[in-house]
């Protein structure tokens, strides 16, 4: 594993513990042999010895084999005999701990469940808005889409490698802000945490605002009324205990995304000619780049396309909850490239080929058939609300951790179950459940009020997300990798890091000049 200057100071606590144990064992043996005035050492060296291999497993499933040498008369079962008395004295403590461990293991995400969450998070509002990039730079947007996917997959790999280093050193679960702390202290921790949680809040607010605008457009209801109804709908997700339970909704969301894609293809291919409306059925503000230079258009388009692959803010959450966190980098990269080839690329090609320069975002604004358009809007609204649930979940964890005084980066449901099993107190369980419901309700109300006062459109959401998305998906992964893993990094990795940083700064500055 590549470990840089910052990583070398992060010595693993497990190794330190083993060293301390070995030192203590050495001291005890030397003091014991000293009481025999030298004869003890000779007798120990002369008596027959045996070598035993002991396999240890840490809390994350990693195994290690240690070889120890002991006298033949010593029995390893002595350890169990000594501690059996303690287990008997503690009553049901042993069974409670094993039950809690089994429950914690049952809450881990499989690779498929992680994939469903990733696709649901990435293909949010950007599912039907990315084709807008082709309006500005023509078919070159397809090449830029591929570049954005490759860059995002690469920075995801850098981020997971940095997570590996900190997890290896601390032996605990790692959050995005932990990386900021290891590299830049408290300032880095607070800055990273603010950007991550701002990203979640802006995304959820945008989902509610866009969904309410779409439903209000086809029903004639007031936007505020629709917003309240949709907020009540998403409020019921507060009863979902864990990401594993939420994976069912993410799987449904993935199916809806492909259903929307099929509707777009069907509407565009029948008949195969220009079927766009002369005037759009909806009014949507889009940036006017007619007088902008090609560099500004490329920067804006790259930022827009990169937002479709943004999942870096939630990667640490999945990294900590996967059954095998070593598969995280592979799963994330595959899903980013898979979303590009199966969703984004086909939708961009067919919509721009049919609608051309009159293309709107979301693309169903161009559909002539009212029934098909309304069906696409309803499905898109459901898609946004399901993306809302998985996006808000890490924020809920953060608030619950603060109020329940859990370790940073821990999984709330696991910690609560462990504490409940050990304490056995029904009142404690009810209090924790009440705290969790209140936290989640407060966050839903916060997004409701923000969506009501700001009424964000797709352009507004993109504008607010430019800085958090660029920093979390391009800048921070490169910097954290450079600080933690640069010593053993190859020449190509260092060169790629520099290119990504330059590309991130250029695209962010160019996009800000457009939207401000």
Angle at 250 between CA 374 and CA 473, to 5 degrees: 100
For residues 492-496, give the mean pLDDT.
87
Residue 33 · residue 40 · CB < 8 Å:
yes
Q: Are 417 and 424 in contact (CB under 8 A)?
A: no
Residues recorded for the chain: 516
Using alpha carbons, select from 5, 1, 14, 13 the residue that is nearest to residue 57: 14
Buried b (16+ CB within 10 A) or exposed e, 410-441: bbbbbbbbbbbbeeeeeeeeeebeebbeebbe
69 pLDDT above the threshold of 90: no
- What's the whole-number mean pLDDT along residues 73-80? 36
Rounded to the nearest 10°, the torsion over CA 230, 250, 450, 239 is: 70
How high is the pLDDT of residue 262? 92
What's the pLDDT tens digit per position in 403-412? 776 544 443 3
Candidate from 6-15, 152-161, 375-384 with smallest mean pLDDT: 6-15
Q: How confident is the model at residue 59 (pLDDT cuts 50, 70, 90)?
A: very low
> Cα–Cα distances in Å, from 37 out to 32, 34, 46, 47, 198?
10, 5, 16, 17, 69
Contact 125, 458 (CB under 8 A): yes
Using one digit for the tens of pLDDT, what is the confidence trace for 358-402?
777 778 877 877 888 889 999 999 999 999 999 998 888 788 777
Q: Is 90 exceeded by the pLDDT of residue 232?
A: yes
Reported as half-sphere exposure (CB side, CA atoms, 13 A), residue 141 has a value of 28
Confidence band of 277 (pLDDT split at 50, 70, 90): very low
Summary mean pLDDT of the chain = 76
Own/partner pairs, 285-292, CB within 8 angstroms, 24+ separation: 285/457, 285/459, 286/132, 286/360, 286/361, 286/459, 287/459, 287/514, 287/515, 289/136, 289/514, 292/514
> What DSSP element (H or E) covers 63?
strand 63-71
Task: Return the residue matching tokens 């009553």.
Answer: 91
Phi-psi region of 475 (alpha: psi -120 to 50; beta: other; left: phi over 0): alpha
Report how many helices (DSSP H) and strands (DSSP E) the chain contains, helices first: 21, 2
Helix (H, G, I), strand (E, B), or coil: what is residue 178?
helix
What's the whole-number mean pLDDT along residues 30-48? 43
H-helix or E-strand spanning residue 55: strand 49-57
- Binned at pLDDT 50, 70 and 90, residue 463 comes out as confident
The average pLDDT across 33-40 equals 41
Residues 6+ apart with CB under 8 A from 65: 53, 54, 55, 56
Handedness of CA 316, 303, 2, 11 (dihedral sign): negative
- Which of 66-80, 133-147, 246-260 reaches the highest mean pLDDT? 246-260
pLDDT in tens, 391-405: 998 888 788 777 776
User: pLDDT value at position 360?
Assistant: 75
Neighbours of 287 (CB within 10 A): 18
User: What local confidence, expressed as pLDDT, does residue 352 receive?
Assistant: 87
pLDDT for the residue 76: 34
CA distances from 474 to 358, 480, 510 (A): 31, 11, 15
* Domains of the chain with bracketed CATH: 119-515 (1.20.1740.10)
Q: How far apart are the first and last CA of the chain?
A: 43
DSSP assignment, residue 64?
E
Closest CA to 208 of 408, 14, 449, 21: 449
Confidence class of residue 129 from pLDDT cuts 50, 70 and 90? confident
The CA–CA distances, whole Å, from 111 to 63, 116, 122, 173, 327 equal 21, 9, 16, 18, 8
Say if residue 438's pLDDT is above 80.
yes
């Amino acid at each position: 594993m590549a470990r840089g200057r910052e990583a070398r100071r992060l010595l693993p606590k497990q190794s330190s513990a083993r060293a301390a144990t070995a030192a203590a064992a050495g001291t005890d043996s030397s003091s014991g042999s000293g009481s025999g005035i030298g004869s003890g050492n000779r007798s120990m060296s002369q008596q027959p010895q045996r070598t035993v291999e002991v396999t240890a497993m840490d809390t994350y499933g990693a195994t290690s084999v240690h070889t120890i040498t002991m006298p033949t008369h010593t029995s390893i079962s002595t350890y169990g005999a000594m501690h059996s008395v303690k287990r008997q004295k503690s009553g049901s403590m042993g069974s409670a701990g094993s039950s809690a461990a089994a429950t914690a293991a049952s809450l881990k995400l499989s690779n498929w469940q992680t994939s469903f969450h990733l696709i649901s998070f990435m293909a949010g509002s950007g599912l039907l808005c990315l084709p807008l990039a082709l309006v500005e730079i023509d078919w070159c947007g397809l090449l830029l889409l591929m570049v954005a996917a490759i860059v995002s997959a690469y920075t995801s790999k850098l981020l997971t490698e940095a997570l590996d280093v900190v997890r290896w050193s601390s032996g605990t679960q790692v959050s995005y802000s932990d990386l900021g702390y290891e590299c830049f202290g408290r300032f880095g921790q607070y800055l990273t945490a603010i950007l991550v949680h701002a990203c979640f809040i802006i995304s959820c607010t945008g989902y509610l605002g866009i969904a309410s605008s779409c439903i209000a457009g086809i029903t004639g209801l007031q936007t505020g009324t629709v917003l309240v109804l949709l907020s009540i709908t998403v409020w019921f997700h507060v009863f979902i205990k864990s990401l594993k339970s939420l994976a069912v909704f993410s799987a449904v969301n993935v199916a809806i995304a492909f259903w929307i894609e099929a509707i777009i293809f069907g509407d565009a291919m029948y008949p195969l000619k220009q079927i766009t409306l002369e005037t759009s059925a909806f009014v949507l503000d889009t940036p006017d780049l007619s007088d902008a230079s090609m560099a500004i258009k490329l920067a804006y388009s790259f930022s827009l396309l990169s937002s479709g692959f943004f999942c870096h803010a939630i990667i640490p959450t999945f990294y900590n909850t996967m059954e095998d966190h070593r598969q995280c980098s592979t799963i994330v990269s595959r899903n980013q490239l898979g979303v590009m080839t199966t969703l984004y690329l086909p939708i961009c090609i067919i919509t721009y080929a049919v609608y051309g320069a009159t293309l709107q975002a979301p693309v169903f604004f161009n559909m002539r058939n009212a029934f098909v358009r309304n069906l696409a809007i309803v499905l898109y609204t459901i898609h946004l609300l399901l993306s809302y649930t998985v996006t808000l979940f890490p924020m809920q964890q953060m608030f619950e951790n603060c109020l329940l005084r859990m370790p940073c980066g821990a999984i709330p449901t696991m910690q609560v179950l462990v504490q409940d099993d050990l304490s056995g107190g029904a009142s404690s369980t009810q209090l924790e459940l009440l705290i969790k419901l209140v936290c989640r309700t407060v966050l839903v109300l916060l997004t409701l009020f923000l969506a009501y006062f700001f009424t964000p459109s797709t352009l507004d959401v993109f504008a607010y997300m430019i800085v958090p998305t660029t920093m979390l998906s391009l800048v921070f992964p490169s910097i954290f990798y450079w600080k933690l893993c640069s010593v053993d990094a190859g020449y190509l990795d260092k060169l790629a890091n520099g290119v990504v940083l330059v590309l991130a700064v250029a695209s962010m500055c160019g996009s800000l000049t457009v939207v401000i």
